Amino acid sequence: MGMESAVAELGVLIYPGAQMAAVHGLTDLFGVANRIAAEQCSAQLPLLRISHWQAQADQAPVRVYDSHPGADGPLLAVLIPPSVAGFSQAQAPLALTQWLRQQHAKGATLGGVCVGSILLAESGLLDGRSATTHWTSAKQFAERYPNIRLNADKPIVDDGDLITTAGLMAWSELGLRMVDRLLGPSIASGTARFLVIEHSDSASQCGSNFAPILGHGDAAILKVQHWLQANGAVDVSLAVMAQQAGLEERTFLRRFRAATGLKPTEYCQHLRVGKAREMLEFTNGTIDHIAWTVGYQDPGAFRATFKKITGLAPSEYRARFGVTPPTPLARAEQG
């Protein structure tokens, strides 16, 4: 008998007006991913455990469905489906937003689909961060949440621990992102092929988008990770990170690597390159400007780090995966 696989639990939130097609669609998508992973007979891959959480009027959400009942563990992610009927602030009671903050503080990645991103905004977790939402909600969203950097023209903003999407049907791409993170790009691509749905192939061809390990249980290190995600790992140093953690530098280095599997410098490189990949795919800024935006003063160092991590030069990556036509200046830079 082989050893049992680890379990990774993904919670799907059900709130008043939530699109149940997305709730059940995500459940089926993860079930297909589990089957494909099992067919590959890889004991290294975790089993995806899918749970549904029903929002209460004045209480924290409660578990109402569990694909693989067992001992309760920490949620690796909480996914918030869209609402066909739109969204009102009445759907975000204090108990629900507090629960979302608690799950995030424990290391869960939070993903909001379409107007589901408004629940994340109501929780305050998106303050100072980048996000997207459905185009019909963009004006109201920008006015109500001025501290959030709204990018309503982007279909998805993957900010590591917080993911927002703009389309009603984008729950499938959010689900595939989580499969990519937990089971790898080949399982994500296989799941997309089986379900005959679109999935960006940039992850499978250039390594997964940066997916930080957040469920390690070290609160001091998680605090630094959330801080790095919020500021993009720009203008940071070992001393500043250790100070954020409240640890001596040598202790911080040891615990950071134990928790994340990376040295702090490597972690910051992956985070910056992840943000650069998104900018190369969805914006038409020059590569030098993108390098500066993600924290590199030397464009040459950025290009070298980008190619080391993705296997492609930034210009090659944009030519293959970019969805926004480059400006004349960007074309000249790439030529």
Closest among 133, 186, 126, 205 to 160, alpha carbons compared: 126
Q: What is the rounded CA–CA span in Å between residue 122 and residue 86?
A: 15
Pull the structure tokens for residue 185.
Answer: 């790009």
Angle at 57 between CA 54 and CA 61, to 5 degrees: 30
Q: What is the rounded CA–CA span in Å between residue 151 and residue 164?
A: 10
State the architecture of 7-206 in CATH terms: 3-Layer(aba) Sandwich (3.40)
Crossing angle of helices 264-282 and 238-245, rounded to 10°: 100
Using left for φ > 0, alpha for ψ between -120 and 50, and beta otherwise, residue 86 falls in left
187 contacts: CB under 8 Å, gap ≥ 6: 33, 36, 37, 40, 45, 179, 180
State how beta strands 62-66 and 47-54 pair.
antiparallel
E strand segments, 116-237: 130-131, 149-150, 156-158, 162-165
Instruction: Check the CA dihedral 299-301-303-305 and report its sign.
Output: negative
pTM for the whole structure: 0.79
Q: Rounded to 5, what percent of the chain is helix, strand, coil?
A: 50, 10, 40
State the architecture of 219-323 in CATH terms: Orthogonal Bundle (1.10)
- Quick one: pLDDT at residue 142? 93
Domain extents in the chain: 7-206, 219-323
pLDDT along the chain (335 residues), means of 10: 73 93 97 92 84 91 94 92 76 89 96 91 94 90 94 88 91 93 89 86 62 90 94 89 96 95 93 90 90 93 93 91 60 48
In this structure, what are the phi and psi dihedrals at residue 52, rounded to the nearest 5 degrees? -105, 140
